[in-house]
Structure 1
Amino acid sequence: MDFGVTDKIAIVTGGGTGIGHAIARTFHDEGATVVINGRSKERIEAAAAAIGPRAHGVVADLLTAEGAEALASHAARLGPVSFLVNNIGIFDVNDFFEVGDERWIEYFQHNIMTAVRITRLVMKDMLARDEGSIVFISSEAAIRSIGNMVPYSVTKTAMLGLGRSLAELTRGTAVRVNSYMPGTTATESVETYFADLARQQGKSVEETLRDFYKEVQPSNLTQKLIDPMLHGRGVIQLATNPAMNGVTHRADGGTIRSIFG
């Protein structure tokens, strides 16, 4: 299927690893020029090289306005940005009563403000050109609020509100803003988490995952971690479908019991 992204510019923030890397690879493989960012020159250049010859790795920290400017400027030199995928985020398991104000602020800075900073720059040009598509990578945790991941759930819920609010600014234009909610995915960080948990419990990773789906996500229909590349396919479909604006696409393996999304 031709998604119509050949020779177009796509920014995928935090595209060096995990879901972001899979999304960047999918856009690249479909013919787009992809720009990813990170804070380590060596790591981001290696990630870009792994994606392919039309991938650009930019050292830019979106926790700062200067980093957002650097990423947007690099992409703009390549051509008008047609796609922006806001993928940067952090997560951990924690006790709500032990999470201090500083950690809450870190969550908002990583999971919300990194997206706000780059979108503020890129979306204004999209509206001026009347062309472009933005996708926010949220999480099923935005809907299935998680008690031992409260800051993560709250900020991912806020991201859905951000995406829908920005979609309201596109009324009558060819610019679109949507959100995407992946479920538990076989990224490096998630696999490390389950490996550490298995060691703590004295079990194999396979046993730990089986118990996780039995006890924590019994409603999950696939009963396994999602391949990141499946999210690459899902996001490019969402980003290129003119009929979809202001919506949230759910790709959680059926964990959330709902006929909508």
Structure 2
Amino acid sequence: MDFGLKDKVVVVTGGGTGIGFAIAKAFHDEGAVVVINGRDKGRLDAACTRIGPRAHGVVADLMTPEGAVTLADFAEGLGPVAHLVNNIGVFDVNDFFEVSDDRWIEYFQHNLMTAIRITRLLMRKMLDRNEGSVVFISSEAAIRSIGNMVPYSTTKTAMLGLARSLAELTRGTAVRVTSYMPGTTATESVQGYFEGLAKEQGKTVEQALADFYRDVQPGNLVQKLIDPALHGRGVVQLATNAAMNGVTHRADGGTIRSII
């Protein structure tokens, strides 16, 4: 299938590892020019080598307004940005009563403000051109609120509201804003979490995962971690489908028991 991405400029924030890397690779494989960002040039260069020859890495910290400008300027120097994927985010398991104000602010900075800053710069130009799309990578935790990940769940829920509100600004145009909700995925950080949990519990990783799906996510229908490459393909389809605007696409393995 031709998604119309040949030589189109696509920005995937983060994009050096995990789901972001898989998304960047999927766009690149469809012919796009892909721009990712991060704070470590060596890691960015290595990721771009793995993604392919049309991948570009920009040292730019979206925790700052200056970093967002650096990323936007570089990407637009390659051509008009056709698609923006807001992928940057952090998570950890924590005790709500022990999370400090500063840590809460860090969560909002990482999981929301990074997306707000770059979207504010690039979406306005999409509206001026009357073309383009923005995708926010949220999480199934946005709906299946998790008690030992309260800051993460809260900020991912806020991201859904942000995306839908921005979609309202596109009414009558060819610009679209959508959200994507992945479930528990076999990224480096998630695999590292389960490896640590298995060691702590004196189990194999396979046993720890089996217990997780039995006790924590019994409603999950696939009963295994999701391959990040599947999210890459899913986001390409979401970003390029002109019929999808203001919607949230679930890719959670059926964890959330809902018919919509």
Q: Give the Cα separation in 2 of the matches to 1:194 and 1:225.
A: 11
1:138 aligns with: 138
Task: Please report how far the alpha carbon of residue 49 of structure 1 lies from its aligned counterpart in structure 2 after TM superposition.
Answer: 1.2
Please, which runs of 5 or more residues in structure 1 have no aligned partner?
none
Aligned to 1:16: 16
RMSD: 0.3
Counterpart residue number, 1:184? 184
Q: What are the residue-to-residue correspondences of 1:219-258 with 2, within 5 Å?
A: 219-258=219-258
Measured in 2, the distance between the counterparts of 1:230 and 1:41 equals: 27
1:53 is the counterpart of 2:65? no
**1:131-188 per-position Cα deviation (integer Å, ceiling 9, x unaligned):** 0010000000000000000000000000000000000000000000000000000000
State the Cα distance separating 1:212 from its structure 2 match.
0.1
- Matches of 1:202 and 1:67, distance apart in 2: 43
* Corresponding residue for residue 114 of structure 2: 114
Q: In the aligned structure 2, how far is the partner of 1:251 from the partner of 1:218?
A: 16
Which residue matches 1:147?
147
Deviations 1:228-247 (A, max 9, x none): 00000100000000000000
Amino acid at match of 1:50: R
Query: Paired residue for 1:4?
Result: 4
> What SS does structure 2 have at the residue aligned with 1:213?
helix
Partner of 2:99: 99
Shift of 1:202: 0.2
Query: Runs in 1 of length 4+ with deviation above 2 angstroms?
Result: none
* Code of the aligned partner of 1:109: Q
User: 2: distance between equivalents of 1:146 and 1:67?
Assistant: 31
Separation in 2, partners of 1:132, 1:3: 13
Q: Which residue of 2 aligns with 1:30?
A: 30
Helix, strand or coil at the partner of 1:35: strand
CA shift, 1:109, in A, is: 0.1
Residue in 1 that maps onto 2:128: 128
For 2:163 and 2:49, locate their aligned partners in 1 and report how far apart those are by CA, in whole Å: 31
TM-score, normalised on structure 1? 0.99
Q: Distance in 1 between matches of 2:50 and 2:166?
A: 33
The residue type paired with residue 17 of structure 1 is T
- Distance in 2 separating the partners of 1:96 and 1:182: 23
Q: C-alpha distance in 1, partners of 2:28/2:46?
A: 15
Deviates more, 1:203-212 or 1:45-54: 45-54
Separation in structure 2 between the aligned mates of residue 23 and residue 176 of structure 1, nearest angstrom: 18
Shift of 1:45: 1.1
Deviation at 1:29, TM superposition (A): 0.2
Counterpart CA distance in 2 for 1:152 and 1:119 is 20
Q: CA deviation at 1:20?
A: 0.2
Count how many residue pairs are aligned between Structure 1 and Structure 2.
Answer: 260
**1:15-61 deviation per Cα after TM superposition (whole angstroms, max 9, x unaligned):** 00000000000000000000000000111111111100000000000
Query: How far is the alpha carbon of 1:204 from its aligned partner?
Result: 0.1
Give the SS at the match of 2:200: helix
What secondary structure, in the 3-state scheme, does the structure 2 residue paired with 1:203 have? coil
The secondary structure found in structure 2 opposite 1:10 is: strand
